[in-house]
Amino acid sequence: MKSSDSRFCYPSNPLAIALRRCFSLALGTVAILLVACQTPAARALSVGQMTVNSRTNPLGIAADDVSLAWTIAAEERGTVQSAYQIRVGTTTEGDDVWHSGRVVSDQQVDVTLPGDLHLQPATRYFWQVKVWDGAGMASDWSAPAWFETGLLSPADWSGAKWIAAPTDNAAAPRPLLRDVVALPKQVKCARIYASAHGLYQLTINGLKVGNQYLAPGWTDYKKRIQAQTYDVTPLLRKGDNVIGAALGDGWYRGNVGMSWRGVYGNALALVVKLQVTYTDGSTENFVTDENWHAADGPMVQADLQDGENYDARLEQPGWDGGGFDAASWKPVAVESDDLSKLVPQPDEPVRATEVLTASQRTEPAPGVFVYDLGQNMVGVARVKLTGKKDQTVRIRYAEELYRRGEKHGQLYTDNFRKAKVTDTYTFARDGSVTYRPTFTQHGFRYVEITGVDTPPATSDVQGIVFGSDLPDIGDLRLSNPMLDQLVRNIRWGQRGNFVSIPTDTPARDERLGWTGDISLFSSTACRYRDTRAFLSKWMDDLRDAQKPDGNIPAIVPQPHREFDETGVGWSDAFITVPYAVWHATGDPRIVRRNWAAMQRFYRFVHDSATKDGNLLEEGRNSWFSGDWLSLEGGGYNRLDEHKVIATVYFAEDTRMMAEMAAALGETNQAAEWAALPPKIRDAFVAAYRKPDGAIYTGTQTAYAMALGLNMIADTAQCEQTGSKFIEKLATDNYHLRTGFLGTPWLLPALVKIGRDDLAMRLLLNEDYPSWGFEVRMGATTVWERWNTIRPNGEFGPADMNSFNHYAYGAVGDWMFQHLGGLQIVESGYKKSQIAPLVGYGGLAQAQCRIQTPYGPLASKWQLANGELTLEVTVPANTSAEVVIPATSTEAVREGNVAAVSAPGVKGATFKAGKVTLLVGSGRYEFATPRQTSSKASND
Ligand code: BGC
């Protein structure tokens, strides 16, 4: 198929572009010089980071709902945006597609393209923006950024078909497929669009296409299958080119969840379209069809949970390059031409994001070699193996080693349950190879190698870290080593469990999208990574899984229809997750895209809670939706608490829906919902608060949720319940006893009743049960249970004992807000509060930063030489309240002047030992004689 279309090929004359850019730069410089000569104080105002659908220059996106954002770089304090202008074109500095005109607005996030632009498939669009500041000064046009659409409908695939090996079955080695494409002319640019039933990896002329792993990612394949777009221009040449594909079982055919197999189908299949644009402007398409050929490959088994068995004796050297004799290969079977489920992948793919090298090798039993990577991670090992023809080497993995007894130093794998988590490599000939499995993924810190005569050197064993490649936007560094390690553990938990979907654990035979886990962790997740595209993709999965009554299953994707549970704290993810993302970013796109379905879910919640004629939720529960794994629940759960928990969730869901409705401009709906939470709270207090102030079951969770989530409006009642809470904590020796649902609210509840000191005490505990205990026991990720390792060094119950579960890492949100001090006042940090708790537990310094959608927001505080210093950076077009413990307003300096008279400081107040300064954008250095934030008693 030929045409003269070349829509994804941008202007190809680099010299012309360079000259044009130089010319405009020169003009810009002249203009700046002129402005500089005319104005007394020269300003530097420019556009910084530009994103589309929260991604930088995304390749292969859908054409609907395209959302633009940018940051502003400005040196002057107090910079705001008063207006913007956008142009979109099919050439680098063109505006042939859209021109916004000058728009008077401070909006920088989620500026959507009009829906009637009729964006074309497989087309690159360039865009630029310029902004005006509060004084009316304009920036230059930004450098061009771009986005490129993928294939948008089945017709765009130009007749590509799903192809499979002719005799594909689960017992046969995983297939290889190939085709030779002849390109008669010089290639200007080229794209591959591809997807698979199963996992795929493509090569062109023997070189890997793209840098992603585990494509096409996990969705409910019966409803939606993601397709990826690759720029393959550098891989092609004039003449013959070989496209190769290897297929593995993945989520489609392999083990998912609790060893469920073949959930979506049993035949592995591939679909590909290669679109080539030649230098003469003509294009040609090549697609998967009956002309492709297939053969068995060397992967005898390739399963995400069980691992890979690789038999090098089955390799066909050169199969994916030129000059290979494919006479024995068989024509493929054409499976189907139904491409209706294909959609462009909307988020960043799974990539290798880091490589760890083993630091230690031990031999705990003869011939058993164990390597320590020093970090519980998710991915695969890369090992240099030496062996003889027909020799099979076995590679096993574990998160932990036995710490005592006769197995001391050996792998602890009981907690993997049925997942085999084992790779094997069989040598085709004597010698050394570097082996890395392709279609599997393990959760591990330790690598065990057996079946070798010569063990690999320590430096020859590496861990390739996998994860959905979300932008790293935030960090928190603390001078207390335990707390600092805890933050690292939380962050590694996020990396390892964000693999195409948000999972509970990456290691055992589960690895499921448990809705409750991410519901609890999403606010924390948003502090450290830009979750927008990733969680927005998962919201598509939730919509796919929504039940006719509006309810949401407890695991999504829901791979096994028989596991059909729902429940409070889990299903509510459909509201809490988009809320967390919108609140953290000020970007309503994730809400807008799901709003109709979210409202259906909320109606379900509302009707369930109100069906008995009151506002108390007593029915929407299942076996796990009490406070899961609470220590007050006898090991697993405490179900008598569900009434308290469920009514709190009803109030919270309603509050969040009201705020999101307001963000979407649905003011009537927002007002209606906003009126309800006070009534639910009154009903809660009447039903569950006893006259002496105690809450119903008297558990830590009941107090934490009632206080931390503001269920008690009356100040005196709140204080009385607060005292009961502290009594309860005292009986628990000031140690936590909460499970999944209660834990995130423990420290906020203590702050709410003015007991920052007790919040810090719980956080700083290092004996069982506590976060610090895990760290002291050597954890490098967050555990599933408080007793995943018991104080005596024994492991917790093996049937459910993950070392990498992020739910209890939800404390990361509190630490970011209260130790780093960066809090959200208006969504997306449009207005922030910088209010670190200083002076507890020997913590002398904290540094915190986040790349907000408006730019970098940062704080760094330090106690030294009798002085508290606080450096803050506030992004352009935002403001902040900086709260500093001090004796008076006058006691706070900024740089060399009194803080109140420093440029950019718009106001100051003093109350209860704290000075609050209102500041505009810019960088500030505050200092005051040393004080602690609040009461620092030690009960
Ligand atoms: C998972 C959890 C999940 C829970 C539901 C467990 O098996 O690992 O994290 O939320 O089941 O009760």
Q: CA-to-CA distance for 328 and 310, rounded, in angstroms?
A: 21
What is the atom index within ligand 1 of the atom nearest the CA of 800?
7
| Protein residue whose Cα sits closest to atom 2 of ligand 1 | 504
Residue 504 CA to ligand 1 centre (angstroms):
7
**What residues contact residue 569 under an 8 Å CB cut-off, 6+ apart?**
516, 519, 520, 625, 628, 645, 649, 740, 741
From the list 144, 131, 143, 145, the residue with the least C-alpha distance to 44 is 131
Distance CA 361, CA 255 (A): 31
Q: What is the mean pLDDT of residues 905-934?
A: 91
Nearest CA to ligand 1 atom 5: 624
For residue 641, the CA-to-ligand 1 centroid distance in Å is: 18
Å from CA of 27 to ligand 1 middle: 61
Tell me the per-residue pLDDT of 581-639, one tens digit each, with 9 for 90 and over.
999 999 999 999 999 999 999 999 999 999 988 999 987 878 777 899 999 976 666 76
pTM here is 0.95
pLDDT number for residue 841:
81
Q: Among the atoms of ligand 1, which is closest to the Cα of residue 807?
A: 9
Looking at ligand 1, which atom is closest to the CA of residue 517? 10
**Cis previous bond, 481, omega within 30:** no
Q: Which of 533, 462, 463, 468 is nearest to 494 (CA)?
A: 468
State pLDDT tens for residues 664-706: 999 999 999 999 999 999 999 999 999 999 998 899 999 999 9
Mutation choice for ligand 1 from 511, 517, 558, 629, CB with most ligand atoms inside 8 A: 517
Task: Specify whether 400 is catalytic.
Answer: no
Cα(75) to ligand 1 centroid in Å equals 48
Pocket test of ligand 1: the residue of 509, 514, 571, 625 to mutate, having most ligand atoms within 8 Å of its CB, is 514
Which residues are registered as beta bridge partners of 401?
A: 411
pLDDT of 83 higher than 60: yes
The alpha carbon of 727 and the centre of ligand 1 are apart by a number of angstroms equal to 31
Which tens digit of pLDDT belongs to each residue from 87-114?
Answer: 999 999 899 999 999 999 999 999 999 9
Is pLDDT above 50 for 939? no
Atom of ligand 1 nearest to the CA of 516: 10
DSSP calls for 602-656: HHHHHHHHHTTSSS---SS--TT-SSTT-GGGTTT--GGGHHHHHHHHHHHHHHH
Q: Give me the mean pLDDT over the 713-730 stretch.
A: 97
**135 touches 78 (CB < 8 A):** no
Which atom of ligand 1 is nearest to 623's Cα?
A: 12
Q: Is 47 a residue whose pLDDT tops 50?
A: yes
Quote the ligand 1 centre to 512 CA distance (angstroms).
9
CA 337 to CA 269: how far, in whole Å?
A: 11
Which residues, judged by CB distance below 6 Å to any ligand atom, belong to the binding site of ligand 1?
Answer: 504-505, 510, 514, 516-517, 624, 628, 800, 805
Q: Which residues are registered as beta bridge partners of 880? A: 832, 919
Sign of CA dihedral 614, 620, 622, 627: negative
Query: For residue 805, how far is its CA from the centre of ligand 1 (angstroms)?
Result: 9
Atom 9 (ligand 1): residue with closest C-alpha? 504
Q: Whose CA is nearest to atom 7 of ligand 1?
A: 800
Going by C-beta distance under 8 Å and a sequence separation of 6 or more, which residues neighbour residue 26?
Answer: none
pLDDT over 90 percentage in the chain: 88
**Parallel, antiparallel or unpaired: strands 225-231 and 342-344:** parallel
Counting ligand 1 atoms within 8 A of each CB, the residue from 624, 645, 788 with the most, and so the one to mutate, is 624
Q: Which residues pair with 296 in a beta bridge?
A: 175
What percent of the chain has pLDDT above 70? 94
pLDDT-wise least confident of 3-17, 292-306, 404-418, 605-619: 3-17
Is 148 labeled as catalytic in the residue annotation?
Answer: no
Which of 348, 510, 641, 652 is catalytic? The answer is 510
Q: How many CA atoms lie within 13 A of 347 on its CB side?
A: 31
* 514 CA closest ligand 1 atom index: 10
Residue 882's nearest CA partner among 910, 849, 851 is: 910
Pocket test for ligand 1, best of 504, 563, 637 (most atoms within 8 A of CB): 504
Atom number, ligand 1, closest to the C-alpha of residue 570: 10
- To test ligand 1's pocket by mutation, which of 628, 638, 801 has the most ligand atoms within 8 angstroms of CB? 628
H or E element that contains 104? strand 103-104
Torsion angles phi and psi, residue 42, rounded to 5: -70, 140
- Tell me which residue has its CA closest to atom 8 in ligand 1: 504
Torsion of CA 582, 587, 588, 589, to 10 degrees: -120
Nearest atom in ligand 1 to the alpha carbon of residue 505 is 8
* Averaged confidence pLDDT in the chain: 93
Q: How far apart are alpha carbons 753 and 935 in whole angstroms?
A: 11
pLDDT digits (tens, 9 = 90+) for 196-234: 999 999 999 999 999 999 999 999 999 999 999 999 999
C-alpha of residue 886 to centroid of ligand 1, in Å? 46
- Per-residue pLDDT averaged across 854-863, rounded? 97
Name residue 731's amino acid: T
Which residue is closest in CA terms to ligand 1's atom 12? 624
* Lookup result for tokens 């680098």: 92
Given 448, 632, 784, 894, which residue is catalytic?
A: 784
pLDDT score at 569: 95
